[in-house]
């Protein structure tokens, strides 16, 4: 049977799983996606938004979530205050979070607010504290890493949106929408992620 490959624009406040058995259940992927046997590749936190890949291709999933296999993930991050050049350099070089130095990244200050749908609920606005947007590209994905990194350099994250995973991009989807990957997208993803012998 042919594998399924789906990208989804995960809204704020949705769990990256299909069931929630906790005492106070939250919204899950099942509210949006009704395809059996596909699972999210990695996670986006409950309070984060953006690109999520789902598949039933176990080999590809393994190479995308195993820390020994690096691939780029790009985020647009709204932070409190205006980051300094020094802070951006620290994010790029790697910062210490919980005794671990993050791997080198690419951190740039966006010149304008990105074109994104409003978040529901919106971030808390404080008139006396400006905000700015950073584009941050990592090759690893530890628990709440982006938030811990920006906090470590003094600029707490207010809003976090993943916009790319390897060659896959968020554009063309509205919040809560999903679509199947094209054959070309699948081919390019495997070329970027899988060893030659497994493509």
Specify the CATH number for 72-165; select among 3.30.930.10, 3.30.70.1560, 2.40.30.10, 3.90.1150.10. Answer: 3.30.70.1560
Active site residues: 45
On the question of a cis peptide bond just before residue 127, with omega within 30 degrees of 0, the verdict is no
Read off the pLDDT of residues 157-198 as tens digits, 9 standing for 90 and up: 999 999 999 999 998 999 999 999 999 999 999 998 886 666
Neighbours of 180 (CB within 10 A): 12
Residues 6+ apart with CB under 8 A from 120: 11, 12, 13
Q: Quick one: pLDDT at residue 193?
A: 85
Q: Quick one: pLDDT at residue 124?
A: 84
Residues 6+ apart with CB under 8 A from 114: 76, 133, 161
Q: Quick one: pLDDT at residue 25?
A: 83
Contacts 24+ apart (CB under 8 A), 113-116: 114/76, 114/161, 116/76, 116/161
Q: Quick one: pLDDT at residue 197?
A: 60
Greatest CA span in the chain, whole angstroms? 57
Give percent of the chain above pLDDT 70. 97
Whole-number Å distance between alpha carbons of 18 and 15 = 8
Specify the CATH number for 1-69+167-199; select among 3.30.70.580, 3.40.50.1370, 3.40.50.300, 3.20.20.10. Answer: 3.30.70.580
The structural domains of the chain, with segments of one domain joined by +, span 1-69+167-199, 72-165
Per-residue confidence at 63, pLDDT binned at 50, 70, 90? Answer: confident
Q: Do 1-69+167-199 and 72-165 share a fold? A: yes
Query: Of the candidates 181, 125, 170, which has an alpha carbon nearest to the alpha carbon of residue 2?
Result: 181
Whole-number Å distance between alpha carbons of 53 and 83 = 30
Per-residue confidence at 143, pLDDT binned at 50, 70, 90? Answer: confident
């Amino acid at each position: 049977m042919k594998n399924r490959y789906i990208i989804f624009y995960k809204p704020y406040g949705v769990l990256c799983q299909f069931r929630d058995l906790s005492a106070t259940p939250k919204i899950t992927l099942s509210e949006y996606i009704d395809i059996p046997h596909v699972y999210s590749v990695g996670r986006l936190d409950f309070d984060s938004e953006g690109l999520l890949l789902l598949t039933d291709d176990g080999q590809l999933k393994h190479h995308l979530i195993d820390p020994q296999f690096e691939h780029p993930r790009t985020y647009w991050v709204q932070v409190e205050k205006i980051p300094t050049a020094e802070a951006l350099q620290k994010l790029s070089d790697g910062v210490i979070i919980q005794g671990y130095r993050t791997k080198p990244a690419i951190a740039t200050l966006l010149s304008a607010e990105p074109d994104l749908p409003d978040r529901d609920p919106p971030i808390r606005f404080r008139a006396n504290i400006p905000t700015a947007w950073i584009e941050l590209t990592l090759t690893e994905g530890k628990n709440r890493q982006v938030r811990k990194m920006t906090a470590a350099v003094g600029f707490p994250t207010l809003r976090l949106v993943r916009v790319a995973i390897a060659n896959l991009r968020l554009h063309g989807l509205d919040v809560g929408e999903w679509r199947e990957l094209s054959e070309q997208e699948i081919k390019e993803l495997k070329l970027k992620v899988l060893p030659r012998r497994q493509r």
